[in-house]
Structure 1
């Protein structure tokens, strides 16, 4: 069997029904849309309409919660930091934080901070100022002679109306 010999099974694909092509075609004249009314016209899509009955998406209960104050962090591994140091992108004398990583081209954009993870190996003595770090990452950095300073970033809190 060759690629040019592969074909669908008989009846696997049905031909497209050409509507509005004469009364004898069974889909002529109104084209299966009934007579008059909004949905017989073009450009109409009434999604979820059930003839006046409460639609199912409104009958079912809503679930879940989306925290609008959730912080989003960039995640970076110590192995990637070591690669950047080896390539000369990062200066080990300067503390590594979000702005340093973005300027070096390691991160695309600064979100709400950086979380340091332990994948890979680090040999350079680097000081980190990050929003979070795993215990294994802290141990790996400290073993190489560096330090990890975790800064506390808080989500913005709604301002309460001043009480009179």
Structure 2
């Protein structure tokens, strides 16, 4: 194989269609847009337009609600944490935080915090500083001799 033998695979590149370049080109005069009307003009935006009929997105009832204040947590199982400790990626003596889990590769990117779930077992005595934990996970952590520090919930007075 020589450098001058290199070329694209057949069909990888296409020649650009030059419209409006004379009758002999096959797409001259109107340039493939037909004659007159809205879609023959430039700046056409007719997505969802149904010719004056009430569009589908307005005919259908609106339902549901999107909470813009909802938090998105990373769910991490106890088994996944134990695997990271066994592999030497997490230090059992240090407090397990979001940053430590990201550094260890347990969590790819931190969202609004980490929530510990109870899948699997925990052998190591760990202290956690996380956004949340399930009741079963709390029991398993405390059974292993560890502790969990959760943020205090604000009460309306």
TM exceeding 0.5 = yes
1:88 aligns with: 88
2:67 aligns with: 67
Where structure 1 has 5 or more consecutive residues not aligned to the other structure, the ranges are 1-29, 155-164
Q: TM-score, normalising length from structure 1?
A: 0.66
Q: Residues 119-134 of structure 1 correspond to what in structure 2 (within 5 A)?
A: 119-134=119-134
Shift of 1:80: 0.8
Distance 1:111 1:152, change over 3 A: farther
Q: Residues 1-164 of structure 1 correspond to what in structure 2 (within 5 A)?
A: 36-39=36-39, 46-152=46-152
Where structure 2 has 5 or more consecutive residues not aligned to the other structure, the ranges are 1-29
User: What CA deviation, in whole Å up to 9, does each residue of 1:103-153 have, x standing for no partner?
Assistant: 222111111111000111110111111111111111111111111121247
CA distance in 2 between counterparts of 1:38 and 1:83 reads 62
Shift of 1:45: 6.1
Following TM superposition, the consecutive aligned residue runs of length 4 or more in structure 1 with deviations greater than 4 angstroms are 40-45
